[in-house]
A = this chain, B = another copy of it.
């Protein structure tokens, strides 16, 4: 099995990408190979510094870079030899089974939509993120930004996508799906969440436990937290800022330490035909390594086939 990494993506690329890839290659030895995609001149010397360990990695050349500030769709179209475009091409042809990048988020989404494409039946793929649970384990929160505005049917599908991920990748049996809302009662919320509640309630593929509130993000009420991308994005960035404030204050705690994005590594795009993960722009080698391990877990679990099978019917 091969897992690809955009060696040019992220604020500290290619250094952090190469270092993270080497770390991941050690942990995945015998199970998967890491494929670095990027400018050979820049990546090769960094890789060689790692000596023998570097021999475990492959390097696939890509001459162009989509910068962080570039217009995603334009850049993706114009830079067909960018590391992101090459990565998606390899993913699409099956040369690699997962593609990870800490680069331009919008370009990663564009590639997902136009190269590997949404699974038939999925209205709109979602970006998922993970929240640490007080009593251990992770919950999955989606959407966190791919779709600012959502129809009720999209929220229903996010419940299904998140539930499949929780089951097959996180290993949660019969994951509890909750709808983020401003009250627990069924009639609460916007017209969108009210309608989504009714759809989720009768969906046979999931275990819907009803509305949850902002205070339930970290408790055990729900394993899968469904919301529109606007709300999910606000919650995610708020949680990140709390971690940053605590880190500045040198406050340490085993639970709050898990708010650190490095611990998980990346945000999978769910509902597309292959496994793609978007990393944080400031990704460190540890974050890159964890993103690659997550890519391996996704590929190993067969999550994208599970999604295809569920939405085929």
Residues of chain A touching chain B, judged by Cβ–Cβ distance below 8 Å, are 134, 145, 148-149, 180-182, 188-191, 193, 213-219, 227-231, 233-242, 244-245, 249, 251, 253, 255
A182, B253: Cβ atoms closer than 8 Å: no
Which single residue of chain B is at the shortest CB-CB distance from A149? B190
Which single residue of chain B is at the shortest CB-CB distance from A106? B183
B255, A249: Cβ atoms closer than 8 Å: yes
Cα A215 to Cα B241 in complex, Å, equals 5
Which single residue of chain B is at the shortest CB-CB distance from A254? B249
Cα A240 to Cα B244 in complex, Å, equals 18
Within 8 Å CB of A249, what residues of B? 253, 255
The 8 A-B residue pairs with the shortest CB-CB distance in the complex, in nearest-first order:
A214-B237, A214-B238, A215-B241, A182-B233, A214-B234, A215-B237, A149-B190, A148-B190
Within 8 Å CB of A193, what residues of B? 148, 230
Q: A180-B234, A214-B240, A216-B241 are in contact. List 13 more A-B contacts (CB 8 A).
A: A148-B193, A149-B190, A182-B233, A214-B236, A215-B241, A215-B244, A219-B241, A227-B234, A230-B231, A231-B231, A242-B242, A245-B255, A251-B251
Given A189-B148, A255-B245, A255-B249, is A182 in contact with B234 using a C-beta cutoff of 8 Å? yes
